[in-house]
A = this chain, B = another copy of it.
Amino acid sequence: MKRSFAPIGVFDSGVGGLTVLKALRERLPTEDFVYLGDTARFPYGRKPKDMIAGFSRQNARFLESQGVKAVVIACNTASSCALPEIDVPVFEVIEPGVAAAKAAFKGGVIGVVATKGTIHNAVYQKRLEALGLSVWARACPMLAPLVEEGLAAEDEAILLIEHYLKDRPVNLDALVLGCTHYPVLKAAFQAHLGGSVEVVDSASTTAERVAAQLEARGFLSTTGRGEVTHFVTGDPQSYQHTASVIGGVDGEIHHLEIEELLSAGSQRAERRGQSALKVVA
């Protein structure tokens, strides 16, 4: 198969990454996708970094075994750990958001909202401060559950956004949504902040980055139809239900046992090892 005809692989620990998938499909309507929701091992945010890096490697290798031409890590936790070293380009969701925040900087403060883990580990703060920007950060532990409960357009969303932003600095230039669930709340954040603050979401900025890089490598397809094949390591029915709050699932959903995920990925790694040996010989 010519590489440009191959699908793009996307993975997350759950449904949050579907916002990234949605942005990718909008930006790249003639591509097809394989989405892996590793819900059996959800949540990633509470596990050690080396364990998450291991999950990332396993997930990326599984996606490689499905013939993808690139892997998008649609998860802030996994993006902040060691990235998998595989044969196709790997994209993560943090750097594109940081770059967009830098572009929006006008001498004030860049705000970051994310889960407890991402804020506690200063994932965005470190990178933004390294660029010389002033940063205000706020953990919003109730916002991902809010989105998953399907309440993004309800009173609870306004109540909690007001609560989490009540101590924000007056001179905020941009607010980075540092969690893949939050693009669903983008309009609510924007309404609360008004037009003078740029709300940066990692979904659309990552989609832009992926499009630019694949184009530069000549990897873009013109014949895909926006089709998505879903693999989910946990319960497919729960996945489908939760996914419905993030735009839903319109492709096939396959249940994937962790054992199958591991064996598909390791067979792929073995084949690569063998062909590398051949080249050397």
What residues make up the interface of A, taking CB atoms closer than 8 Å to B?
40-43, 46-47, 141-142, 145-146, 148-149, 151, 155-156, 159-160, 163, 234-235, 237-238, 241
Given A40-B40, A141-B149, A141-B156, 9 other A-B residues pairs in contact with their CB atoms under 8 A: A41-B235, A42-B235, A46-B238, A47-B237, A141-B151, A142-B146, A142-B151, A156-B163, A159-B159
Q: A155-B163, A156-B160, A241-B46 are in contact. Are A40 and B142 (CB under 8 A)?
A: no
Residues on the B chain within 8 Å of A237, using CB: 46-47
Known: A142-B145, A142-B146. A40 touches B159 (CB 8 A): no
Q: Nearest-CB distance from A107 to chain B (Å)?
A: 32
Residues on B with beta carbons closer than 8 Å to the beta carbon of A42: 235, 238
Q: A145: nearest residue on chain B (CB-CB)?
A: B145
Which residues from chain B contact A149 at a C-beta distance below 8 Å? 141-142, 145
The docked-state distance in angstroms from the alpha carbon of A234 to that of B141 is 23
Residue in chain B with minimal CB distance to A115: B149
Residue pair A159, B151 in contact (C-beta under 8 Å)? no
Residues of B with C-beta under 8 A to A159: 159-160, 163
Q: Which residues of B contact A46 (CB under 8 A)?
A: 237-238, 241
State A149–B234 Cα separation when bound (angstroms). 20
Q: How far is the CB of A54 from chain B (nearest CB, A)?
A: 13
Distance in angstroms from A39 CB to nearest chain B CB is 9
Chain B nearest CB, measured from A28 CB (Å): 32
Q: With A and B bound together, what is the CA distance between A234 and B39 in angstroms?
A: 10
Bound CA span A237–B46, Å = 9
Q: Closest 10 interchain pairs by CB?
A: A145-B145, A141-B149, A46-B241, A142-B156, A159-B163, A41-B235, A141-B151, A159-B159, A142-B146, A40-B235
